[in-house]
Amino acid sequence: MQREQVNVIEEENLSAFEQSLKSNDTEEKIDIWFYRPIGFRIAQVCAKIGITPNAVTIISIFFGVAAGILFYYQELWINVIGMLLLVFANSLDSADGQLARMTDNKSRFGRILDGFAGDFWFASIHIAICLRSINEGWPEWLWVFCILAGVSHMLQSAMADYYRNVHLFFIKGKAGSELDNTRDLKVDYDALSWRKNFFSKFVLNGYRGYTRNQEKLSPKLQKLLHIVKSRYKDDLPQQLMVDFRMKNKPLMKYTNIVQFNTRVIFLFVWLFIGQPWIYFFFDMFVLNPILIYMCNRQEKVSGYFVDKLTNDPTYGE
């Protein structure tokens, strides 16, 4: 009898864990095996004691920034502490989203804050590595590569996040994704007052610019989304969802490559060998070509469905 009760509890925990994930299509193996289970446990504790997802995100910023600061030092043992802090920060970053889904406490501000959290971590990491490298003999113009690598990172993360949400939109619908567009954001922006809602309006204005850049880099995708939303309103036809998932799922591995895990694994390797400056060149000359390839592939997939929907009005019906 006790064994049966244990099995029931384990099944319930597994079900709750799976529900805390966005989608297996968009989850990376390292996340599913490592970060998501840790994040799930943290989220469970936070749910019990009443800590909000946004509070978890803010806490992760402190750990991530502290990790970057520790990468400034040449002593490997200090770097290792920074690595552990960065791993914990990413576990918290996983936990905030899982907590939001578990408690149904999702918000646009939470998504914006979550995106900024990673920017704070890596701004700290880039600055620390650049200062360290200059102290070790690199010329001052290394700041150029530091800034270019930082801009590259922001573009890579922005497009990877956007493509993941597009994929979730097509397989789960509007309720299952966090896909925003500048038209809807402008309506919300115009409804706010600078006098009464200064902070909210300021944040939303920045987020509009962020979203606008994502849309500019994906013109065929924007055309596809316009056709789909004008034709199908809320519910997407099953055939379109199945076909899009089949063609688009292979692209998800590229969104994972340019995100956290790959870059951090290589960053840790270069810290261990005492050459963290390589990270800047890896960002620019390895991850940027992957970003370009990812964007081109996504545009081809979008173009395929634009042609399909344009030439066959009955498609999906």
pLDDT, tens digit, for every residue of 208-258?
999 999 999 999 999 999 999 888 876 888 999 999 999 999 999 999 999
Tokens 């055939």, located at residue: 239
Q: Would you state the pLDDT for residue 6? A: 41
Tell me what the pLDDT averaged over the chain comes to.
91
pLDDT classification of 62: cutoffs 50, 70, 90: very high
- Per the structure, how many domains does the chain have? 2
Of 89, 104, 137, which residue is a domain's last? Answer: 137
Share of the chain above pLDDT 90, in %: 78
Verify that 42 and 158 share a domain, yes or no: no
On whether both 106 and 162 belong to a single domain, the answer is no
Given a cut of 50, whether residue 9 has pLDDT beyond it is no
Note whether 103 and 44 are same-domain residues.
Answer: yes
Domain boundary among 112, 137, 162: 137
104 confidence band (pLDDT: 50, 70, 90): confident
CB-based contact 294:310 (threshold 8 Å): no
Domain limit, last residue, from 137, 156, 178: 137
pLDDT mean over 5-16: 51
Residue 57 structural domain: 1-137
Q: Would you say how long the chain is, in residues?
A: 317
Q: Using an 8 Å Cβ cutoff, are 294 and 160 in contact? A: yes
Please indicate, yes or no, whether residues 248 and 159 belong to a single structural domain of this protein.
yes
Residue 8 clears pLDDT 50, i.e. is over it:
no
Segment 277-282 mean pLDDT: 97
pLDDT value at 147 more than 90: yes
221: helix, strand or coil: helix
Amino acid at 30: I
Is residue 303 left, alpha or beta, with left meaning phi > 0 and alpha meaning psi from -120 to 50? alpha
CATH number at residue 25: 1.20.120.1760
> What's the rounded mean pLDDT across residues 81-103?
95
pLDDT at 313: 75
pTM: 0.91
Q: How confident is the model at residue 178 (pLDDT cuts 50, 70, 90)?
A: confident
Q: Tell me the range of 4-8, 10-14, 186-190 where mean pLDDT is highest.
A: 186-190
Count Cβ atoms below 10 Å from residue 99 Cβ, excluding itself: 29
pLDDT at 201 over 50: yes
Q: What pLDDT is stored for residue 115 in this prediction? A: 87
Q: Are residues 101 and 204 in the same domain?
A: no
Least confident span in 11-20, 57-66, 191-200, 263-272: 11-20
